[in-house]
Amino acid sequence: MLEVRNISYQIRNRKLLDGVSFQAKAGELLAIVGANGAGKSTLLKLCTRELTTLSGEVRLDKKSLTAYSDKELALVRAVLPQQNSVVFPFLVSELVLMGRYPHFDFHPSDHDYYVAETALKKVGMWEFASRVFTTLSGGEQQRVQLARVLAQIWDVPKGILFLDEPTTGLDLLHQHQMLELAREFTQKGFCAVVILHDLNLAAQYADQIVMLRSGRIEAIGRPQEVITVETIKHVFNLNVWLVEHPELDCPMVIPQQHQFSNRH
């Protein structure tokens, strides 16, 4: 379980996050949404210890984030960052195996190779295992990076998966496959924290949504509670219609086109 307790963060005199608190439980997918500059990626970096909080506390499995060693942390959580710059000519299979580094000292075991192969198959990239990573398209690279982070916590009880805008560069099919995989892992007892820009994807896949506005939580709860006409107007300055999803118990967002007419 992830617990965020009243955390704040600022750079110089600019406060990027102010008094943010929430919980993400095992078996749950939590989506973080908000306008550009709302503090989403900063919040994720604080939750993964890439940044240090100004005040407040982050806890993983009832233990303060600061109490974990680097290796201990790598064994309980995996992070797919927004930017994944790889310049060396690693093979796809080699890159995914890097996700297993916290699990061995010198040489990977047969089990490590098995996990890396299985993770690649899960994201539909096994046929690219012998390709050089940098020769892949942006969307293919994103799927390989997902396989790497899945391999990292594949067999970790109650592991936590952090995904920062994981659908970037993916076509419609692979956006949904990406989030279906995240949900599949939560059904095994994992916790997933995902930054999304698409409110419709958040509504379909999240158990809980945290909506940020200017570094503070504007709304938190189930998709039906957070995604409202009023909240979207306040956070995104956008007029929308909401309709019921034909199969799922969640709202779908449709922007009102007339508000853009003066831009044509």
pLDDT at 12 (0 to 100):
85
223 found inside a domain: yes
- Nearest partner of 39 among 229, 166, 211, judged by Cα: 211
* Tens-place pLDDT, residues 114-169: 999 999 999 999 999 999 999 998 889 989 999 999 999 998 888 899 999 999 88
Claim to verify: residue 182 and residue 94 sit in the same structural domain = no
* Tens-place pLDDT, residues 25-77: 999 999 999 999 999 999 999 999 999 877 899 999 889 999 999 999 999 99
What's the structural domain count of the chain?
A: 2
213 found inside a domain: yes
pLDDT at 209 (0 to 100):
98
- 244: pLDDT confidence band, cut at 50, 70 and 90? very high
147 found inside a domain: yes
Claim to verify: residue 93 and residue 184 sit in the same structural domain = no
Claim to verify: residue 21 and residue 138 sit in the same structural domain = no
Domain that holds residue 226: 1-61+158-263
- Tokens 């076509």 correspond to 171
pLDDT at 264 over 60: no
CATH of the domain at 39: 3.40.50.300
Tally: H helices and E strands in the chain: 9, 12
Alpha helices for 98-198 (secondary structure H):
110-122, 138-152, 172-186
Four-residue CA torsion sign, 23, 26, 28, 31: positive
Q: Are 54 and 9 in contact (CB under 8 A)?
A: yes
69 found inside a domain: no
Distances (CA, A) of 123 to 25, 129, 142, 202: 25, 12, 10, 20
Give the CA diameter of the chain: 62
* Tens-place pLDDT, residues 178-212: 999 999 999 989 999 999 999 999 999 999 999 99
pLDDT at 85 (0 to 100):
73
Claim to verify: residue 57 and residue 170 sit in the same structural domain = yes
For 233, the token pair is 């107007």
pLDDT at 261 over 80: no
Task: Annotate 70-87 with DSSP letters as a single string.
Answer: HHHHHTTEEEE-S-----
pLDDT at 263 (0 to 100):
54
d(CA 196, CA 58): 21
Four-CA torsion 117, 123, 129, 132, nearest 10 degrees: -140
pLDDT at 86 (0 to 100):
73
Claim to verify: residue 24 and residue 48 sit in the same structural domain = yes
For 92, the token pair is 């796809």
